[in-house]
């Protein structure tokens, strides 16, 4: 008869790249998070793309309960960094967050509780926007694009998880092969955590909602600028085209004509709207939608020429899409 270990191993995986000030504040916050007596925890800081100050900041990290390790992943892309962190980690439960986050003191305990209780294989935590970054012009679309989980996830039955605050069992990630490195910051604008969430659910595993366990997102204020919103919308369209072709096996009808249609629609609407400078804050939701649609059509023309990486909402068909995770 098997018995559970006296202490359950947890690994926190934190990916970063070129944001030393953000990482320093995030690590300061993480140092104040308590580790329950029934858990042993390690922190894996994965620096991605180019080496900066992350190794020095990880070495300076002080926590009586957290063991910290620094890892460098040279190939750009958050999903590659995530997969590297998984390979380097030893935890049975893996906690994921970002380098611009502030944590509640009981974050580890409450994010792991549903898995330890046997009620879940993954946990979708909550994300709120830092108060000083909220703006009167924001609606639910703006907030959701900035990872405010209350604006796009159901607390009782979350359809997916947000990469800034989620927990997954090692077993699930190993069986799924980790994160798809054709998605995620550094390649697209995200989508890696959505896809892994859908794969978890399609595999019959359970995602528990824990949106009340909320971390605070202290993103770069430049993300509020008009030019940044436009880049974000284009990359979201790229992500959507990839997922439509490879995961959902859906098509854009006549994508070249659709691209011309959305281009004309966007051009006309802009002619009738006040001019915006790239550094201005905010953007109209209609413009986000048009740009995303336009980018979806443009990238689908490329994606449809490729062999699909997945069966329809199922297993990975292409071994090169994402290498298996080592135990």
* Spatial distance between the Cα atoms of 319 and 305, rounded to a whole number of angstroms: 18
Measured CA distances, 252 to 150, 263, 301 (Å): 30, 15, 9
User: Which residue is listed with tokens 């190794």?
Assistant: 55
Q: What is the pLDDT of residues 205-239, one digit of tens each?
A: 999 999 999 999 999 999 999 999 999 999 999 99
pLDDT, residue 315, reads 76
- Domains of the chain, by residue range, sit at 9-221, 225-303
292 C-beta neighbours (distance < 10 Å), count: 22
pLDDT at residue number 326: 46
The confidence score (pLDDT) of residue 248 equals 97
Q: Can you give the pLDDT at residue 327? A: 39
- Copy the structure tokens of residue 17: 């790249």
Tens digit of pLDDT for each residue in 19-37? 999 999 999 999 999 999 9
User: What is the per-residue pLDDT for 7?
Assistant: 62
Q: Compute and round to an integer the Cα radius of gyration of the chain.
A: 20
Residue 77 region by backbone torsions, left for phi larger than 0, else alpha for psi between -120 and 50, else beta:
left
Burial status of residue 180 (CB atoms within 10 A of its CB: 0-12, 13-18, 19 or more): buried
pLDDT by residue for the chain (327 residues), tens only, comes to 334 445 679 999 999 998 999 999 999 999 999 999 999 999 999 999 989 999 999 999 998 889 999 999 999 999 999 999 999 999 999 999 999 999 999 999 999 999 999 999 999 999 999 999 999 999 999 999 999 999 999 999 999 999 999 999 999 999 999 999 999 999 998 999 999 999 999 999 999 999 999 999 999 999 999 999 999 999 999 999 999 999 999 999 999 999 999 999 999 999 999 999 999 999 999 999 999 999 999 999 999 999 999 999 987 865 555 544 443
- The span from the CA of 282 to the CA of 135, in Å, is 9
- CA-based nearest residue to 143, from 308, 319, 288: 288
Q: What is the pLDDT of residue 2?
A: 37
Q: Residue 164: exposed, middle, or buried by beta-carbon count in 10 A (0-12, 13-18, 19+)?
A: buried
CATH of domain 9-221: 3.90.550.10
CA distances from 93 to 111, 129, 130, 255 (A): 10, 26, 27, 42
């Amino acid at each position: 008869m098997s018995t559970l270990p006296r202490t359950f191993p947890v690994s926190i995986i934190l990916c970063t790249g070129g944001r030393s000030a953000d990482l320093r504040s995030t690590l300061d916050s993480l140092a104040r998070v308590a580790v329950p007596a029934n858990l042993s925890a390690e922190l894996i800081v994965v620096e991605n793309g180019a080496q900066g100050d992350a190794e020095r900041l990880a070495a300076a990290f002080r926590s009586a309960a957290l063991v910290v390790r620094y890892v460098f992943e040279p190939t750009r892309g958050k999903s590659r960094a995530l997969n590297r962190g998984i390979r380097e980690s030893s935890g049975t439960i893996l906690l994921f967050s970002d380098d611009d986050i502030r944590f509640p003191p009981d974050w580890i305990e409450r994010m792991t509780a549903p898995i330890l209780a046997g009620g879940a294989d993954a946990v979708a935590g909550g994300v709120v926007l830092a108060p000083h970054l909220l703006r009167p012009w924001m609606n639910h679309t703006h907030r959701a694009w900035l990872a405010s989980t209350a604006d796009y996830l159901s607390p009782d039955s979350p359809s997916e998880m947000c990469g800034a605050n989620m927990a997954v069992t090692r077993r699930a990630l190993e069986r799924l092969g980790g994160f798809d490195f054709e998605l995620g910051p550094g390649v697209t604008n995200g989508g890696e955590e959505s896809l892994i969430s859908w794969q978890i659910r399609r595999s019959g595993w359970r995602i528990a909602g824990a949106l009340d366990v909320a971390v605070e997102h202290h993103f770069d204020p430049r993300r509020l600028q008009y030019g940044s919103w436009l880049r974000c919308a284009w990359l979201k369209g790229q992500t959507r085209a990839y997922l439509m072709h490879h995961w959902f096996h859906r098509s854009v009808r006549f994508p070249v004509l659709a691209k011309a249609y959305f281009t004309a629609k966007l051009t006309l609407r802009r002619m009738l709207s006040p001019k915006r400078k790239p550094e201005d804050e905010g953007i109209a939701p209609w413009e986000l939608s048009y740009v995303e649609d336009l980018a979806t059509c443009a990238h689908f023309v490329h994606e449809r020429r490729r062999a699909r990486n997945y069966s329809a909402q199922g297993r990975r068909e292409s071994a090169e899409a994402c290498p298996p995770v080592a135990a």
